[in-house]
Chain A
Amino acid sequence: MMYFAFLFGFCFVFWMVGVSCNPSPYYGVLSLVIGAAFGCGLLVSMGGSFVSVVLFLIYLGGMLVIFAYSSALVEEPYPAAWGNRGGMIYVVSYVLVIVGYGAMCYWLWSMEGYGSVTIDAGGLFVVRLDFSGVAWFYYFGSWLFLIAGWGLLLTLFVVMELVRGLSCGVLRPI
């Protein structure tokens, strides 16, 4: 059972390799979605259900959906697919980097064992660690909360100015 979470970690790294050496952004977005799903599984296996749900909602459901729609800006009549292209050398080199890094960790820094502490390691509480941790936002971190919200509002206006275009935008036609 302990090594079941290691499977999530392995699949996560596998799909991140797929993101980095994607033949076309359509496949890159798909690889990122599936990799994020396995990353959520990794967090759930350590007991962090709340942060996993937040990752699913905000990251997958918010940001990656926008990326999937923005990949329509990639206007390729014949998008490349996996295999049969010059980019296969990237796949091989990334896999070799992971294997090399793993070998270095194993022999130099003794990566072995499992050694994972889950969220319930302090005993059984009514509220788990991730729920009670994020609730600090509303008590000690209220100013931080307000400043982060202010930053997000500012980002909205910056984005609106960037995509305005015409003759008064940041990037304009030459």
Chain B
Amino acid sequence: MTPLHFSYHSAFIISIMGLSLHRTHLISTLLCLESMMLSLFIALTMWPTQLQIPSLMLTPMLMLSFSACEAGMGLSLLVASSRTHGSDQLQNLNLLQC
């Protein structure tokens, strides 16, 4: 592994840890999701660059467009939960709590 690969590997690990250990706000979770998508984009771009295969450059473009879909979906869920619960605090999302 080279230091360039280590950078996006560790960024992905830190982002997925931040996604699972978020504390108060839903939007912090969505931000960690976006940083995961960023590290995946960098990984998918380094792959055709190192192997010198031009046609694999389609994958980061496709991934970026679908991550835009996912970000829009997450933000609309944030807006909807902010409309029903008043804020995006995670302690308010307790319908399944016994």
Q: When the two chains form their complex, are residues B3 and A129 in contact, meaning their CB atoms are under 8 A apart?
A: no
Q: When the two chains form their complex, are residues A13 and B34 in contact, meaning their CB atoms are under 8 A apart?
A: no
Q: When the two chains form their complex, are residues A148 and B65 in contact, meaning their CB atoms are under 8 A apart?
A: yes
Q: When the two chains form their complex, are residues A111 and B45 in contact, meaning their CB atoms are under 8 A apart?
A: no
Q: How large is the interface on B (under 10, 10 to 19, 20 to 34, 35 or more residues)?
A: 35 or more
Residues of A within 8 A of B2 (CB): 111, 113-116
Once the chains are docked, how many angstroms separate the CA of A42 from the CA of B3?
A: 11
Q: When the two chains form their complex, are residues B17 and A158 in contact, meaning their CB atoms are under 8 A apart?
A: no
Once the chains are docked, how many angstroms separate the CA of A140 from the CA of B21?
A: 42
In this assembly, does B14 line the interface, its C-beta being within 8 Å of a C-beta of chain A? Answer: yes
Q: When the two chains form their complex, are residues A111 and B58 in contact, meaning their CB atoms are under 8 A apart?
A: no
In this assembly, does B13 line the interface, its C-beta being within 8 Å of a C-beta of chain A? Answer: yes
- Please pick, from A10, A75, A87, A90, the residue contacting B7 in the complex, using a CB distance under 8 A: A10
Once the chains are docked, how many angstroms separate the CA of A2 from the CA of B93?
A: 49
Contact (A162, B38) CB under 8 Å given A58-B64, A129-B57: no
Q: When the two chains form their complex, are residues A39 and B38 in contact, meaning their CB atoms are under 8 A apart?
A: yes
Q: Which residue of B lies closest to A25 (CB)?
A: B27
| 11 contacting pairs across A/B (C-beta < 8 A) | A10-B7, A22-B31, A28-B31, A54-B64, A63-B67, A105-B1, A111-B6, A130-B57, A152-B69, A165-B80, A174-B84
